[in-house]
A and B are shown apart, each in its own frame.
Chain A
Amino acid sequence: MATEIVVDRHPADLLLRSDRLPHIWCPGCGLGSVMSCYTDALMASGIPVERHVCVSGIGCTGRVAGYLSLDSFHTTHGRAIPYALGLKVSNPDLKVAVISGDGDLSSIGGNHLIHAARRNLDLTVICVNNFNYGMTGGQAGPTTPYGATTSTTPDGNVEQPFNLPHLVAAVGAVYVARWTSLHVRQLRDSIRTALLKPGFSFVEVLSPCPVGFGKANDLGDGIDEMRFYRRRSIVDDNANLEDVGLTMSEDEPIVLGNFVNRERTVFSPSVKKWAIEEVLNGQA
């Protein structure tokens, strides 16, 4: 048997603008792993590339759309979901995915997130959570754990963070999962399920940010942060979502899993009165 073979093409290059690689993300950043799982899931889902659109907001994660060689939108800050909603309702045949960061989706675009889940718009949202605003210099955001050090909270964050799976499940998402960028097989399968699920599906991915978050909190390099996920993670699909909030404490587990998978009437703005009556009478 031989050693490694040096090549210049990757199987996922079919879906990538490979002329833009290597990408700008820092060494040790988990965003590339998430994009790798997403491209693998998209190929495995059987969804034709010409019927798929990827929408991103602003931030490090927002650059995913720019690296994909398919129909993609890099939108204004926080407005990835409104763009995706417009795409979906004007062309219902499309499968639309939003890949964006925790700050873009839950802070600047927080209301869009909860109302898209409430309406049960047929949309897949992949939220990469790195616990801070990495691109702008590591400021605290709505997912920064209590007590964590960031450039705007040098003495520790005094705010309670969002528990994103609990939030989106409470407002009506039909599929909710959380993985880390280390749990690549589960993440790939989860993204594939989410892409094929009618209704609002939400996958939170915890990702290392060694430069923005890891350095300030003595988590080490990206690889150390990945080991930190392996050490602390447990998988519990039936976890009570109230209890899956994230903390900096080594004693508390990071709960992962496919938490919610249920059916609700999917949003369609052009639905007729008789169809609404069928839903109200429990026939659909």
Chain B
Amino acid sequence: MSTIVARRPLDLDQEQFRVPRGQVYIIPHRCKDCQFCIDFCPADVLERSTQLNAKGYHYAVVASGKEDACVNCRFCMLVCPEFAIYSEEAQEVLSADQ
């Protein structure tokens, strides 16, 4: 009866398609090291800091080698219970495209 068609992006045939780039912002003194953002980041951008914040927690930082990996999905911002992390569209990439 019905055929299963695997999903593929509509713009795959085109020469150029732009993957969004995100810039991660953190507020270290709010973090309580729950690791929700680190564990559930779909691009595995984040890791625990080596430094401690004022309350003695390791906060989230961008992992080494992952500086370009954030796609600005904003999952970390929604899942963070502490309002301590968010991402915005990276400005450098926007100007480079223009």
Contacts and interface: CB of A to CB of B under 8 A. Distances in A.
Contacts of A18: 83
A15 to B, nearest CB: 10
B79 A33 contact: yes
A4 interface: yes
Contacts of B84: 10, 22
Given A10-B86, A21-B30, A226-B36, A1 B77 contact: no
A7 interface: yes
Interface in B9-61: 21, 23-30, 32-36, 39-40, 55, 57, 60-61
A2 B23 contact: yes
Contacts of B80: 32-33, 36
A16 interface: yes
A32 B80 CA distance: 7
Given A28-B34, A33-B36, A182-B40, A7 B81 contact: no
Interface in B53-86: 55, 57, 60-62, 67-68, 75, 77-84, 86
Nearest to A230: B40
The 7 closest A-B pairs by CB, nearest first: A32-B81, A184-B78, A27-B32, A3-B62, A10-B83, A4-B24, A1-B67
Interface of A: 1-13, 16, 18, 21-23, 25-33, 35-37, 40, 181-182, 184-185, 188, 221-223, 226-227
